Amino acid sequence: MTDRWDSSPTDRRHFLAAAASGVAAVPVAAAAQAGPGATRAPLSGPSRMPLRVPRRLQPGDTVALINPSAAVYERQPYEVAHDTLKALGFKVREAPNLRARRGQFAGTDAQRAADVNAMFADPQVHGILALTGGSGGNRILPLLDYELIRRNPKFLGGFSDITALINAVHARTGLVTFHAPVGVSEWNEFSVSHFRAAVMEAQLATLRNPKSNEDALAPKSNRIFTVRGGKAQGPLVGGNLAVLTSMAGSVYWPAFDGAILFLEDINEYIYRVDRMLSTLKLAGVLDRLAGVVLGAFTKCEPGEGYGTLTLDEVFDDYFKPLNIPVYGGASFGHIRLKFTLPIGLPVEMDADAGTLRFLQPAVS
Please give the positions annotated as active site. Answer: 160, 264, 334
The three-state secondary structure class of 64 is strand
Those residues with Cβ within 8 angstroms of residue 214's Cβ, 6 or more apart along the chain or in another chain: 220, 221
Please compute Rg for the chain using Cα positions: 19
**Residue among 161, 167, 169, 52 at smallest CA distance from 117:** 169
Sheet-wide strand order for 225-228: 206-208, 355-358, 346-350, 231-240, 260-266, 291-298, 326-328, 225-228
The three-state secondary structure class of 322 is helix
Instruction: Report the amino acid identity of residue 22.
Output: G
CB atoms within 10 A of CB 355: 21
Could you tell me if 67 and 86 are in contact, meaning their C-beta atoms sit under 8 angstroms apart? Answer: no
